[in-house]
Amino acid sequence: MASRLIHSRLSLSRLHVMAGTKNGRFLSTESNKVDEPFKVEEAETLNVPPPPSEKLLVLGGNGFVGSHICREALNRGLDVASLSRSGGSSLHDSWAKNVTWHKGNLLSSESWKEALDGVTSVISCIGGFGSNSYMYKINGTANINAIRAAAEKGVKRFVYISAADFGLANYLLKGYYEGKRAAETELLTKFPYGGVILRPGFIHGTRTVGSIKLPLGVIGSPLEMVLQRAKPLNQIPLVGPLFTPPVNVTAVAKVAARAATDPVFPPGIVDVYGIQRFNQQMSR
């Protein structure tokens, strides 16, 4: 009887030792103590696909502002495509080879909607001058068509390059401004949380026309420096908007690219002073 009791106690001791041992290490009977430093085994590598890249579609990407936006977006590592009536770009810069160029007319057939496949954000630089009816179509109807199609395709963010008010000029270019404002209204309706409207005034920079480069910054840059410090003049009735400072095309491109890809960029209207402010924040 005594030998059985001793044998049972020895068996229990072995079980106790085994229970306190894990992977060759002895653990204290108190759960919060470890006799040896705990070693974390290397985690198993899983074949997890990388997150999908952002794809940006620039409407009018072969124009003055649009081409700068394409280049800025490429510098940010985005997959960039452009849609315009002429299709391919006439630019010979090396970065243009990295843009997918689509040809289409926002006012005619719906074949251009294929350019929205897989797109996560859109920036529209579509606009133009002419008769009042033409200006309304190109600035208003064309952009409204694009906004509605983008919303249907599930695009996350849409940035529209609009224009600042210029007081009396609004009446002289009635179709231009009425078209712009109609597009703005549609954008804020369809993209209440991801729609951004940039309202620059005169946009300056080096503009390429054929083989000629026009240095618009020669005039625009000094005016920008002077007028951005004369903001109170902008409040004068009727003529005040004429004192709206010009803005560099690079600044517009940087802010537009950020607004199209940054989910915390505030939706709504950004005037020329806001464009300058955001650009300065990004340059710090």
pLDDT lower than 70: segments of the chain: 1-52, 206-243
| pLDDT score for 230 | 54
| pLDDT score for 241 | 55
Residue of 270, 213, 214 lying closest to 247 (CA atoms) = 270
Find tokens 């006012």 and name the residue.
107
| pLDDT score for 282 | 84
| pLDDT score for 40 | 35
Q: What are 101-135's pLDDT values in tens digits?
A: 999 999 987 879 999 999 999 999 999 999 999 99
| pLDDT score for 283 | 76
Phi, then psi, of 121 in degrees rounded to 5: -150, 155
**Secondary structure of 207-220 as H, E, C letters:** EEECCEEEECHHHH
| pLDDT score for 141 | 97
Find tokens 């209207």 and name the residue.
269
Q: Which residues pair with 57 in a beta bridge?
A: 81, 122
| pLDDT score for 243 | 54
Q: What is the pTM of this model?
A: 0.74
CB within 8 A of 57, min separation 6: which ones? 81, 82, 83, 115, 116, 119, 121, 122, 123
Q: What are 248-271's pLDDT values in tens digits?
A: 999 999 999 999 999 999 999 999
E strand intervals along 6-60 = 21-22, 25-26, 55-59
